[in-house]
Amino acid sequence: MDDILITGNDNDAIANLLNKLNSQFTMKQLGLARHFLGITIQSMRDKYFLSQQSYAQSLLQQTNLHKCNSLSNPSSTKQPIKVNQDNTIADAITYRKITAIQYLTITRPDIAHAVNTLSQHMHDPEPIHLHLLKRLLRYILGNITFGLPITKSSMILRTFSDADADWAGDPITKKSTSSFCTFLGDTLVSWTVKKQNTVSRSSTESEYRALAAATADTIWLKHLLADFNIPHTSPVAFYCDNTSAIALENNPVFHARTKHIEIDQRFIRDHI
């Protein structure tokens, strides 16, 4: 990697740093950042907007989908029983090549879950996976201008966690998928979609595993803010939509049916 992006609110400090770097390396200053590693940076008053429209367009060109009809959803809850073979994404090699769409999730958290699902089948994609990849590309075509806004707002963290909506969602392993995201003020700064390592025997257990992962990630973000001299002294608000998980968190008494998730429960309770 030979690209570097320096940012800050002290122009003199940035100039001094550039002078030191120029004395050690051959560098060229390109001025205000507009494009960086395939990401377009739009600067506005008290706001930035990050997008990857050109990168998405190149993926659509590779599959000849740049003129197809768009879709409103990145994935489908009900998969078709029979899928016709499509010449657009004809084989596993093309599938693996287009799965470079993972890089698009840097500014497109709305496709993170669909990309996570498709990436699990790169070794041996079946016709259904080729169909779902094409569906995702058609969704991207209809929302190709989507991106990630960065706005000036409060420095308060908020975390949202969910997993029970996809409890035992994997049809083969019956593992659930953890998903959570964290906002710093009004700006989304962290998000994760990941298949859980073990099988959850209930939606409550699945939700608690997601909460534990979200808690660890949020603690790391608090330490990162402290490195930037931004102490986060107020409690972080956690949002969870599973009433059983919330009830379990408020009940310190463990029963036989909940002993298998005691470690995650204790971990979250300690940090609360």
Domains of the chain: 11-46 (no CATH), 51-147 (no CATH), 154-271 (3.30.420.10)
pLDDT tens per residue across span 228-251: 899 898 999 999 888 877 777 777
Whole-model pTM: value is: 0.78
Provide the pLDDT confidence category of residue 257 given band limits of 50, 70 and 90. low
DSSP 198-239: S--SSHHHHHHHHHHHHHHHHHHHHHHHHHTT----SPPEEE
Residue 4 is predicted with a pLDDT of 84
Which residues lie across from 83 on neighbouring strands?
none
Whether pLDDT at 256 is above 60: no
Taking 60 as the threshold, does the pLDDT of residue 142 lie above it?
yes
What pLDDT shows up at residue 9?
82
Sheet holding 157-162, edge to edge: 187-195, 177-184, 157-162, 237-240
SS3 247: helix
pLDDT tens-digit map of 17-47: 888 888 888 888 788 888 888 899 998 888 9
